[in-house]
Amino acid sequence: MPPELDPMLFGEIDPPQRLLMGPGPVNAHPRVLRAMSADLLGQFDPEMTGYMNQVMALYRPIFGTTNQWTMLVDGTARAGIEAALVSMVAPGDVVLVVNFGRFGLLLTEILGRIGAVIETVEAPWGEVVPFDAIEAAIHRCHPKLVATIHGDTSTTMAQPLEGFGELCRAAGALSYVDATATIGGMEIAADRWGVDVVTGGLQKCLGGPSGSAPITISDRAAQHIGKRRHVEQGIRRDDITDGVGPRIGSNYFDLAMIMDYWSEKRLNHHTEATSMLYAARECARVVLGEGLDATFARHAKSGAAMTAGLRAMGLTVFGDDRYRMTNVTGVYIPDSVDGEAVRTAMRDLFEIEIGTAFGPLQGRIWRLGAMGYNAAKHKVLLTLAALEACLRMQGFALPLGAAVPAALEAWGQ
């Protein structure tokens, strides 16, 4: 074996204790990390299936729903997105995408691979799509599905969704919302919004690691997906029949089979990611233990404090204040400043990570997050103080010491 591949040359994983104050991932809550270290169980052990049922119950209030089909898709948040889209959309279906950033474009990327006919209704990055524009686009293209992002971390904007599902349903369309960046930090109201499918991730406001995607599915969407059920030959049973619709184009992301796995049928689909299920369960317990309203208020205070501190430095905050996500703030990089040099100094000198940007905003803004376990007053203040010092090192003139008092005042409000 070549010396560079000899595992004896590698030590234990011992990462630096960085404070992750970018758009995600964030530092996982210690309770979540402890839960992940628990012993593994067999996937059909009654203790394990009991934990699965508990996860379903725990995530219903987090999604704002009473949906029976509230569960996990094993994989990162994108696994939930792809499972939702590939299970609801067949090749040739018309899908309307509400696009106002990088992750709206991701929806079109996935849908293109499925073979959907993609229509879009768009807003410039830093804005959201007006409700009447969505309504007009639905009437124009008569989609089978309307898909949107709730909070797009690429632009830090949150799309208003009151009445979104009802609008889609009135037109005979299903509705889908990706709430990866907002679940646990901003209200998700699947039932009140009338939305058919919502997916999320653990690695942002829920304060967990990436690797599990919570999902909730309305009865209406479940019925639609069930028509496409195709049971694998090796696990067929007389009490489970195939649907009449086109087979779902992915085996791993087949929600019809995943629902059978999470149901009392316990039809084998894959080996549940046990440690990630433990993580998702503890994420939900942390959030619900604090209380949803208290969690949302903490994220709102953190975002307001971060924004106030940045403005007190003389920096310009990106995007429309009316629709800003509470947990991620974009700020323009001053023309005289090397943005990557500042990020490097933040990491090397203070062990704090802030985010860069994508697409048309790459090199133009930083994105600073305060979410989950990191949506805390002292972590926001430390980040602002470190950024102030790093900007001064770059020769940027700013009112020294103004950011922290401004953030404290905003937190108090």
Q: What is the pLDDT of residues 79-103, one digit of tens each?
A: 999 999 999 999 999 999 999 999 9
Q: What is the CATH number of the domain that holds 185?
A: 3.40.640.10
Domain that residue 378 falls in: 292-412
Q: Based on the fold, state whether residues 173 and 202 are members of the same structural domain.
A: yes
Q: Based on the fold, state whether residues 157 and 126 are members of the same structural domain.
A: yes
How far is residue 352's CA from residue 350's CA, in Å, rounded to a whole number? 5
- Given 287, 306, 323, which residue is the final one in a domain? 287
Identify whether 13 is part of a domain.
no
Q: What is the pLDDT of residues 30-48, one digit of tens each?
A: 999 999 999 999 999 999 9
- Indicate the average pLDDT of the chain: 96
- Given 287, 307, 328, which residue is the final one in a domain? 287
Domain count, the chain: 2
Q: What is the CATH number of the domain that holds 357?
A: 3.90.1150.10
Q: Based on the fold, state whether residues 197 and 130 are members of the same structural domain.
A: yes
- State which H helix or E strand residue 353 sits in: strand 352-353
Q: Which two tokens stand for residue 253?
A: 């992301």
Per-residue pLDDT, 238: 83
Q: Based on the fold, state whether residues 318 and 389 are members of the same structural domain.
A: yes
DSSP string, 168-234: HHHTT-EEEEE-TTTBTTB---HHHHT-SEEE--SSSTT---SSEEEEEE-HHHHHHHHTT----GG
| Coil/strand/helix, residue 85 | helix
Residue (of 173, 84, 105, 92) closest to 135 by Cα position: 173
Q: 403: Cβ–Cβ under 8 A, 6 or more apart, which residues?
A: 309, 310, 312, 313, 384, 385, 387, 388
Phi-psi domain of 264 (left: phi exceeds 0; alpha: psi -120 through 50; beta: other) = alpha
- Given 287, 321, 337, which residue is the final one in a domain? 287
Identify whether 48 is part of a domain.
yes
How far is residue 218's CA from residue 144's CA, in Å, rounded to a whole number? 16
Identify whether 360 is part of a domain.
yes
User: Position 159: which residue type?
Assistant: Q
Q: Based on the fold, state whether residues 281 and 300 are members of the same structural domain.
A: no
Q: What is the pLDDT of residues 128-177, one digit of tens each?
A: 999 999 999 999 999 999 999 999 999 999 999 999 999 999 999 999 99
Residue 268 — very low, low, confident or very high, per pLDDT cuts 50/70/90?
confident
Residue 236 — very low, low, confident or very high, per pLDDT cuts 50/70/90?
confident
Q: Which two tokens stand for residue 24?
A: 């995600």
For the segment 347-361, the average pLDDT, to the nearest whole number, is 96
Q: Based on the fold, state whether residues 104 and 61 are members of the same structural domain.
A: yes
Q: Based on the fold, state whether residues 231 and 104 are members of the same structural domain.
A: yes
Identify whether 5 is part of a domain.
no
